[in-house]
């Protein structure tokens, strides 16, 4: 009888834990649907469990990024909030995530199944801290370091999920490169928006070279030349990073192609007319995003048949 009672309690505990994990994933998916149209269009191509894990990674990244972008807090408060996120990562590493935090619960579950690299979460926080501190980027190498923190880190989380935790160092490097490409595209797309937040990401050396120290008072032709130059750099990072597709299963490769494809289309528009970024953010319509996602499945299939 005692064993039976213990067994019953164990079953109830397991069921409760499963319900909590499912609730946590649903909350992460809600955040992803609401906040990340480009990201969500891609991950819809994944099987359910991988899609849930990707939503957990995104929800954490969104929360950290929002701290850096919240103009309602002063710098000290932002740094304190980032310190709390570091504590949350430490809790994940110790196997004791906060049961009151759905994102931590979901990440802990995903970590067990996909060997998520927790140092990538730390790097993400490092990158957002650079934003809070108002870091300047004198050289392109300095900007790449920032991009590796805020986006390459997310790429490494994604490839861990794609590969069921079996990605090797080469795959992680390619995922990191692709993250840099996407972030460079974001930076070019959001020049006006970032300026309104008091941020300039394009390297000082490049701005000086093109005579665009102040992007908003420089000659428009010089600004367009600078933007085109940086966009070509981003295209090179895309070309290198997208070789990751060859290392993935079909659905993961399709997901990657979809996410990268959306950013790639934005980059193509920038390359075609660099000056348009000074008029505001460039985006794709829902129909275009759906088309990119559908096309990605075909491209990934062809790549795997080579």
Q: Please name which of 122, 117, 130 lies closest in space to residue 61, comparing C-alpha atoms.
A: 122
pTM of the entire predicted model: 0.87
Q: What is the mean pLDDT of residues 107-123?
A: 95
Give residue-wise pLDDT tens across range 221-275: 999 999 999 999 999 999 999 999 999 998 899 889 888 888 999 999 999 999 9
What is each CA distance from 289 to 59, 188, 276, 285, 295, in whole angstroms? 21, 19, 20, 6, 10
Query: How confident is the model at residue 9, as a pLDDT?
Result: 36
Quick check: 188 and 227 in contact, CB under 8 A? yes
Q: What is the mean pLDDT of residues 277-289?
A: 80
What is each CA distance from 151 to 26, 74, 176, 178, in whole angstroms? 24, 24, 7, 8
Both tokens assigned to 46: 């994944």
Instruction: For each of the domains in the chain, give its residue range(s) and CATH number, in order of start.
Output: 2-305 (1.10.600.10)
Q: What is the mean pLDDT of residues 98-127?
A: 94
Average pLDDT, the chain: 87
Instruction: Choose between 64 and 42: higher pLDDT.
Output: 64
Q: How far apart are CA 268 and CA 171, in angstroms?
A: 25
Length of the chain: 306
Q: How far apart are CA 132 and CA 70, in angstroms?
A: 10
pLDDT grade for 6, boundaries at 50, 70 and 90: low
Q: Which residue has the tokens 């359910």?
A: 48
pLDDT above 90: percentage of residues in the chain: 67
Quick check: 180 and 144 in contact, CB under 8 A? yes
Query: How confident is the model at residue 17, as a pLDDT?
Result: 63
Both tokens assigned to 174: 């390619």
Residues 6+ apart with CB under 8 A from 172: 117, 156, 159
Q: Please name which of 179, 64, 161 lies closest in space to residue 121, comparing C-alpha atoms.
A: 64
Give residue-wise pLDDT tens across range 146-162: 999 999 999 999 999 99
Q: How far apart are CA 163 and CA 156, in angstroms?
A: 11
Query: How confident is the model at residue 161, as a pLDDT?
Result: 97
Give residue-wise pLDDT tens across range 166-225: 999 999 999 999 999 999 999 999 999 999 888 999 999 999 999 999 999 999 999 999
Q: Which residue has the tokens 């049961």?
A: 99
Q: How far apart are CA 114 and CA 244, in angstroms?
A: 18
């Amino acid at each position: 009888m005692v064993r039976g009672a213990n067994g019953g309690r164990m079953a109830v505990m397991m069921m409760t834990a499963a319900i909590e994990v499912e609730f946590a994933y649903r909350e992460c998916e809600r955040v992803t649907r609401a906040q990340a149209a480009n990201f969500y269009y891609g991950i819809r191509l994944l099987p359910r469990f991988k899609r849930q894990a990707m939503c957990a990674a995104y929800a954490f990244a969104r929360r950290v990024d929002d701290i850096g972008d919240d103009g309602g807090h002063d710098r000290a408060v932002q740094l304190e909030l980032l310190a709390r996120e570091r504590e949350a990562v430490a809790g994940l590493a110790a196997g004791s995530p906060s049961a009151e935090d759905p994102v931590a619960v979901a990440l802990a579950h995903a970590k067990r199944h996909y060997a998520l690299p927790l140092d990538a979460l730390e790097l993400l926080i490092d990158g957002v801290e650079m934003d809070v501190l108002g870091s300047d980027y004198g050289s392109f190498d300095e900007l790449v370091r920032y991009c590796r923190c805020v986006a390459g880190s997310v790429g490494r989380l994604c490839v861990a999920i794609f590969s069921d935790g079996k990605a090797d160092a080469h795959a992680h490097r390619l995922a990191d490169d692709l993250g840099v490409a996407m972030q460079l595209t974001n930076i070019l797309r959001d020049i006006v928006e970032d300026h309104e937040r008091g941020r300039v990401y394009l390297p000082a050396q490049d701005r000086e070279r093109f005579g665009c120290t102040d992007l908003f008072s420089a000659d428009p032709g010089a600004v367009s030349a600078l933007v085109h130059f940086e966009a070509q750099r981003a295209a090179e990072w895309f070309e290198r990073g997208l070789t990751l597709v060859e290392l993935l299963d079909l659905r993961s490769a399709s997901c990657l192609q979809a996410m990268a494809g959306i950013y790639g289309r934005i980059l193509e528009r920038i390359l075609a007319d660099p000056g348009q970024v000074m008029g505001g953010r460039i985006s794709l319509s829902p129909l275009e995003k759906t088309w990119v996602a559908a096309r990605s499945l075909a491209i990934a299939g062809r790549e795997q048949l080579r």
